[in-house]
Amino acid sequence: MDYPAITGWSREEREALVAAHRDSLAVLLRHSLSWVAAPYGEERLLEAFRFNTLDDAVDWCLTRFATGDLDPAKISPSSRSWRLFTEARFWLTQRESREGYTRKMQWLEAQRQRSNEASPTPLQEGAEQTQDVDVTRLMERLAHTLRKLLARTCPDLVGWWLRATEELRAEWFELPSLPPSQVPASKKTRSVRMHDAQFRFQCLHRALILDSSEAGLPHLAVREWLFQPCSNVPSYQRSEEDIAAALPPTAPRDRRSVQRLRREGLEVLLGRLLKTALAGPDSEQAVALMEWELLRRAVTKTTLTAFNLDEGAAPELRKKAEQLDTLAKALEVVR
């Protein structure tokens, strides 16, 4: 993934970067610190590096970047970008020095090994290790998609996805939570935004968004509408003027045509996700069930409402969403 370059390294420029993009940088830091902590436990890692909470660690890293003595010449060229905020080792080394980082990680590893001394039977161990690897890979894929969602939309949509999947993640594994900057009082509004975020996440997760200029006009329109950086305020969408400006010169650009094109593109994406979901989980393996549960929650009747496709506006999509509800009940998927 390409990260935005950090073009200014003076204290003033670094402070300005943090002030302008604090939420986005915090998301990257939270995930990177969580991955490092996963084998040892978040609380144990935070204690080892003298942090009280994950929020404390993130705040310290951002403050260190903004006000600390950082020499870009000592940072790898590939890390002189927002990628630096995905490199937990860099920040923990900043906290404790290189020697201190090595010593503390060795201690954490020794503690982990001691806690695993009561080993299961070889058969159980093999099955558990396979499942652990699969779940870890799923976590990595989800985190990768979250970074895409952040890069192609705005920080709040990442927060809404995390909020929507909070209960599932608490049962399956732990990913950091990031509350959206604006939480409306209306339950319906919260639900709509969570379903919007889940839908966009799944489109990116399943690589449905094409960057080729040869994509059809409906796809270009929906891509510019929902999958390009946007203002971090509801409804987290680009304007019709922005969409029209991105279309080829020969494309119709009047308001009605733009609305028609973006809706056609949206319905195609919803249809593809619903078709995949209606096929059911790929297998009975835990990870396949997890993936399917995340998908089916992204394409419900509320998702249609989020994009004004309810009230008979898209009867075929609504019918498929209802079929998916029935399938989920029949399968009795346990989160």
Is 181 in contact with 160 (CB distance < 8 Å)? no
Q: What percent of the chain has pLDDT over 90?
A: 51
In terms of Cβ atoms closer than 10 Å to its own Cβ (0-12, 13-18, 19+), residue 208 is middle
Which pLDDT does position 185 carry in this prediction?
A: 64
Phi-psi region of 184 (alpha: psi -120 to 50; beta: other; left: phi over 0): beta
Which pLDDT does position 66 carry in this prediction?
A: 95
Is 307 in contact with 266 (CB distance < 8 Å)? yes
Q: How many residues does the chain have?
A: 335
Question: At 62, which amino acid appears?
Answer: L
Termini Cα distance of the chain: 30
Question: At 249, which amino acid appears?
Answer: P
Q: What percent of the chain has pLDDT over 70?
A: 88
> What integer is the mean pLDDT of 66-75?
92
Structure tokens at 250: 């020969």
Is 156 in contact with 182 (CB distance < 8 Å)? yes
Least confident of 64-68, 126-130, 139-143, 315-319: 126-130
Is 51 in contact with 3 (CB distance < 8 Å)? no
Distance CA(152)–CA(282), nearest Å, equals: 28
Which pLDDT does position 130 carry in this prediction?
A: 47
Tell whether the model's pLDDT for residue 31 goes beyond 70. Answer: yes
User: Which pLDDT tens digit goes with each residue over 290-321?
Assistant: 999 999 999 999 999 999 997 677 899 999 99
Which pLDDT does position 123 carry in this prediction?
A: 43
Which pLDDT does position 317 carry in this prediction?
A: 93
> What integer is the mean pLDDT of 158-173?
83
Which pLDDT does position 178 carry in this prediction?
A: 52
Task: State the DSSP code for 78.
Answer: G
Measured between alpha carbons, how far is residue 126 from residues 64, 122, 129 in Å? 42, 6, 5
Looking at every residue in the chain, the average pLDDT score rounds to: 86
Distance CA(139)–CA(133), nearest Å, equals: 10
> What integer is the mean pLDDT of 80-96?
91
Distance CA(94)–CA(61), nearest Å, equals: 9
Which pLDDT does position 216 carry in this prediction?
A: 92
The DSSP bridge partners found for residue 5 are 81
> What values do phi and psi take at 116, rounded to 5?
-100, 10
- For residues 335 and 35, the model is more confident at 35
- For residues 284 and 266, the model is more confident at 266
Distance CA(245)–CA(251), nearest Å, equals: 10
